[in-house]
Amino acid sequence: MRRLILCLFLFLILPQVVNAKTEPYKGKIQKVTLYRNQAMVTRNIEVDLPTGEHTLTIQDLPAQIVESSLYAEGEGLDIRAVKIESIEVGKNPEKKINDLDNKIENVRNNIQKIKILQSALKKKINYLTKQEKFITTTEKIELSRGILNTNTMKSMTLFNFEQREKLALDEFKYSLDIKALQKELTLLQKQRMEMNKGTTKKREAIVFVEKKTSGKSSVFLNYLVRDSGWSPLYNIRAKKESNSFELEFNARIHQISGEDWDNIELTLSNASPSLSAVGPGISPFRINLSRNVPQQQIQDLSAVSRSINQKLEVAREKQQEARNWQETQGYNWEMNRAANEYQNLELVADDEDISILNKESESSHSTPSVSYSLKGKVSLASQKDPQLVTVENVKLNGKLYNVATPILTNFVYREAEIENNQVEELLAGSVNVYLDDSFVGNAEIPNVAKGQSFVTGFGIDSQIKTRRALVERKEKILGGNKELDFHIRIYVENFYDKKSLLRVADRIPISLKDGELRVTLVSNTSPLSTDELYVQEEKPKGILRWELEIPGNTSGKKSQVIEYSYKLEFDKNLNINLFNSGNTNMPSGKPADDLLRDEFEQMQKKRYNKK
């Protein structure tokens, strides 16, 4: 059985290993998973060792290795620890390098000084602009009163022009100075690089193993390397008299990791090796009403919507690359913040705006995570050390399902609720998540006592997709109240041949202040979830959740549809304020954005059993 060893963990000390004999090996690269900008390399080292403890030295690791990624697995032996060592070969002319470093630092300081001067110059220009506006306004007022002092106005105007001319020349000089300094910096850095070539580093992996039985066994050394990646390249061939097309899908590979991949198993993936497996959580959507404030008008709804979608996409990508709970939830909130802005647009959109919003939403699809395993083999040119021992190896009960939040992303995430029915206490820590023997990402679990359950993500399920659309918005006045009606439609596509369980989450607005807004869920084609936690914690906050069984092969016109309508009623003299993160018009005096984020983080902690 292979046992996963991560070099980032803190291990117990094994003093017996110190005196073990070091045996040099190189091994053979067996398989590579090539990502867009990195590659995971697996090197197989076959050994024939007697029983006991041994220290193995794996030589010739590549120059572009990501040292923190190194880990090892074993067959027929136990891995106790793994580390990487760098040995310098050759010597640098230290004095000359230090002199160059000092020169480089001086040039950088001079560049920074000029940038500070440029910043001050911009402030001067801004001041002159304000002064110019003042002159123009004063001139008009004094002209209308017949008291214009032409000499004063002339001197102020000439002073403004003279200062602008001087500042323009200064800006031109600063730009030339920075160009010259940048050129000097590039030359010095090149000299530094050439001089540093006198020293090379030889990298070796040191693996501590224990052999309990005699015979042959294997060590699998895994590590990420930089300067490797791929991009798709397609060829499509067709004939005029034929309705068939030939598609040739190629991969353009760059591979300068510092080691040859000879006769390997190659998998291409467009995922990230640090991809988070935790799907985004949805926050409540609260709105604020104010009296006698005109409804805000949006000049370019398409540009605003596109900007919001870009923010949402950036936040989504960062959330997927997050390495811990804090980062994950931070970027998750950024997704919700952008979604708040978008949903505010829905609240103030007119009939013409709806089509613009839906068009921009449909154009913001992201690429799902996929991988391709190529057929056949491919060739492309000490005791302070940490230790690891296995504590438990058990099977736990749980339930795997899919979760969709189409207001945040069209992607559907796999999620599992797992019961700890074996171990007395699972301590909080990071988890590497695998599905069907494939690595899907990183996650974290909290402290979990025996009998408790926890939730973890299992990455994207690219075979199920969802899309949310605002179908209709109506506005009318009833007596002293204004009424807004919204009709929302959610499309679900299941590309599997079999039915799939899907949890869909959306939301309706709720007021930031009690009593000023009435929200009514008018109609709903699918019953809401009866889950106890949802009913108690999320439903009162405007979160809508459905538990669905989606038939297989439901896509396009066969897509399953969730439709619901909701109504907002409020004083006709009030208007909906667009989402403003700096709004402090709250009873607590705290910015609305901070209150919303606090509420969202508390909900997420309850969902994932976080303290």
Q: Which residues pair with 81 in a beta bridge?
A: 208
Residue 119 has pLDDT above 60, yes or no: yes
Over range 12-23, report the average pLDDT.
44
CA dihedral 460, 461, 465, 470 (to 10 degrees): -40
Q: Looking at the predicted structure, is the pLDDT value of residue 418 above 70?
A: yes
Backbone angles phi, psi at 413, to 5 degrees: -105, 145
Question: Where do the structural domains in the chain lie, given as residue ranges?
Answer: 5-90+199-230, 95-196, 285-369+455-607
Instruction: Indicate the range of 227-236, 245-254, 497-506 predicted with least confidence.
Output: 245-254
Residue 467 has pLDDT above 80, yes or no: yes
Predicted pLDDT at 324? 76
The whole-number pLDDT of residue 405 equals 93
Least confident of 163-177, 229-243, 342-356, 553-567: 229-243
Angstrom distance (rounded) from CA 311 to CA 55 = 50
pLDDT category of residue 382 using cuts at 50, 70 and 90: very low
Q: What does 410-423 look like in DSSP terms, one character per residue?
A: SEEEEEEEEE--S-
pLDDT tens figures, 192-212: 777 766 556 778 899 999 988
**Do residues 238 and 77 touch, judged by C-beta distance below 8 A?**
no
CA 325 to chain CA mean position, Å: 12
- Judge contact between 30 and 218, C-beta under 8 A: no
Whether residue 443 has pLDDT greater than 50: yes
246 contacts 234 by C-beta, under 8 angstroms: no
- pLDDT interval class at 506 (50, 70, 90): very high
**CA pair distance 369, 274, nearest whole angstrom:** 13
Q: Which of 49-53, 449-453, 507-511, 583-587 has the lowest mean pLDDT?
A: 583-587
pLDDT in tens, 535-594: 988 999 999 999 999 998 888 888 899 999 999 999 988 888 766 555 545 544 557 777
What's the pTM?
Answer: 0.49
pLDDT at 344 over 70: yes
The conformation of residue 378, written as its DSSP 8-state character, comes to B
CA-CA-CA-CA torsion sign (42, 47, 52, 57): negative
Question: Which amino acid belongs to residue 584?
Answer: T
Per-residue burial over 431-470, b = 16 or more CB atoms within 10 Å of its CB, e = otherwise? eebeeeeebbbbbbbbebeeeebbbbbbbbbebbbbbbeb
Crossing angle for the helix pair 94-145 and 150-196, to the nearest 10 degrees: 160
The answer to whether residue 258 scores a pLDDT higher than 60 is: yes
pLDDT on residue 485: 94
What is the average per-residue pLDDT within 412-438?
Answer: 76
Across 118-132, 165-179, 468-482, least confident range:
118-132
Please provide the size of the chain in residues.
Answer: 611
Interatomic CA distance for residues 260 and 34, integer angstroms? 14
Q: Which amino acid is at 137?
A: T
Q: What percent of the chain has pLDDT over 90?
A: 18
pLDDT band at 17 (very low <50, low <70, confident <90, very high): very low
Helix (H, G, I), strand (E, B) or coil at 43: strand
Q: pLDDT digit string (tens) for 211-221? A: 888 889 999 99
Distance CA 508, CA 284 (A): 8
Q: Is the dihedral of CA 487, 492, 493, 498 positive or negative?
A: negative
pLDDT given at position 412: 92
CA dihedral over 519, 520, 524, 529, signed as positive or negative: positive
| Residue in 472, 452, 462 with CA at minimum distance from that of residue 555 | 462
Question: pLDDT value at position 200?
Answer: 63
- The DSSP annotation for 561-578 comes to EEEEEEEEEEETTEEEPP
471's tokens: 């179908």
For the chain, give the mean pLDDT. Answer: 79
Phi, psi of 213 (to 5 degrees): -135, 155
Distance CA 462, CA 476 (A): 42
Q: Are 224 and 273 in contact (CB under 8 A)?
A: yes
Consecutive H or E run containing 524: strand 518-524
| pLDDT for the residue numbered 116 | 85
Q: What pLDDT, on the 0 to 100 scale, is given for residue 544?
A: 95
For residue 92, is pLDDT > 50?
yes
Angle CA 577–563–561, to nearest 5 = 130
Residue 486 has pLDDT above 70, yes or no: yes
Please tell me the class of the 5-90+199-230 domain.
Answer: mainly beta
pLDDT in tens, 290-316: 776 666 666 667 778 888 888 888 888
**pLDDT above 60 for 154:** yes
Closest-CA residue to 597 (of 582, 608, 578): 582
Rounded CA gap, 282 and 508, in Å?
12
Mean pLDDT across 101-111: 87
Q: How far apart are CA 450 and CA 397, in angstroms?
A: 12
Is residue 473 very low, low, confident or very high in pLDDT (cuts 50, 70, 90)?
very high
The radius of gyration computed from the CA coordinates of the chain, to the nearest angstrom, equals 32
Q: Pick from 335, 363, 369, 361: which is nearest to 463 by CA?
A: 369
pLDDT for 12 equals: 38
Task: Look at residue 148 in the predicted model and tell me its pLDDT.
Answer: 66
Q: What is the 3-state secondary structure (H, E, C) of 339-391?
A: HHHHHHHHHHCCHHHHHHHHHHHHCCCCCCCCEEECCCCECCCCCCCCCCCCC
For the chain, the 3-state helix, strand and coil shares in percent, each to the nearest 5, are 30, 40, 30
Would you say 456 and 430 are in contact if contact means Cβ atoms under 8 Å apart?
no
356/309 Cα distance (integer angstroms): 13
